[in-house]
Chain A
């Protein structure tokens, strides 16, 4: 007979630690993107900031999950970052292309 409490604890613990490690990896990539945005030219900075908004949005969405830290307002911030960040990147890329 498999112990269900062990399996439940394993699932909870694995999900918590995986989300935490993934968030740390996202933070590392975000810091690298910020470094790139500070030393590159305009389009490179735009690309790096787009990457930073992506990883920040995913990390915020993960910490808003009830299985993890249950920070409710982080979900709305994450949706705004992911949606508006992508659309803003496309708009500014069009502006840079036109040379304005």
Chain B
């Protein structure tokens, strides 16, 4: 029971931080500072565990798995927001609503690929990270090709 309560507290803390970022409209901590701070906290936690006599490998694996859980929790909120956006923005907003939907699809792709990369690195599953990296490299081309094809098909419809 104590573990489940701890997981819920951890989940709410991550959700709160992500929601704070979304509400602010930009990163609360700049990403160039956030990533080193997270790495510093992880190294500090591993060092504290190792100084208490716990094996260094076990301490590192445990802390990295907790970090992977945080990454997955932080990806949940943008994913749900993207689903709500897909449902919310209907055809009544005009023809340019496609670009909004394409942007939402880009958010889904970006969150998915970043979650795959970072979770794969943190739980040491390099196949997961490699596929995520390949997908991360490919997704701008996908979004650009979709927007391009919509633009030219719309121009063709106007001419007809």
A contact residues vs B (CB 8 Å cutoff) = 1-2, 4, 6-15, 17-19, 21-22, 25-26, 28-29, 31-33, 35-36, 39-40, 42-44, 46-48, 50-51, 54-55, 57-58, 61, 65, 67, 75, 78-79, 82-83, 86-87, 89-90, 93-94, 96-97, 99
Contact = CB atoms under 8 A, between A and B. Distances in A.
A72 B79 CA distance: 25
Given A11-B66, A18-B73, A36-B86, 20 more contacts: A10-B3, A10-B6, A11-B63, A14-B7, A18-B11, A21-B72, A29-B79, A32-B86, A32-B87, A43-B150, A51-B109, A55-B108, A55-B112, A58-B112, A61-B128, A65-B123, A65-B128, A83-B131, A96-B150, A97-B145
7 contacts: A15-B72, A28-B80, A44-B101, A46-B149, A58-B116, A61-B116, A79-B131
Contacts, number: 182
Given A29-B80, A86-B142, A35 B87 contact: yes
B86 A90 contact: no
Question: Range of interface residues on chain B?
Answer: 35 or more
B126 interface: no
Contacts of B53: 1
Contact residues of B: prevailing secondary structure: helix
A26 B78 CA distance: 10
A6 B124 CA distance: 22
B66 A10 contact: yes
A22 B76 contact: yes
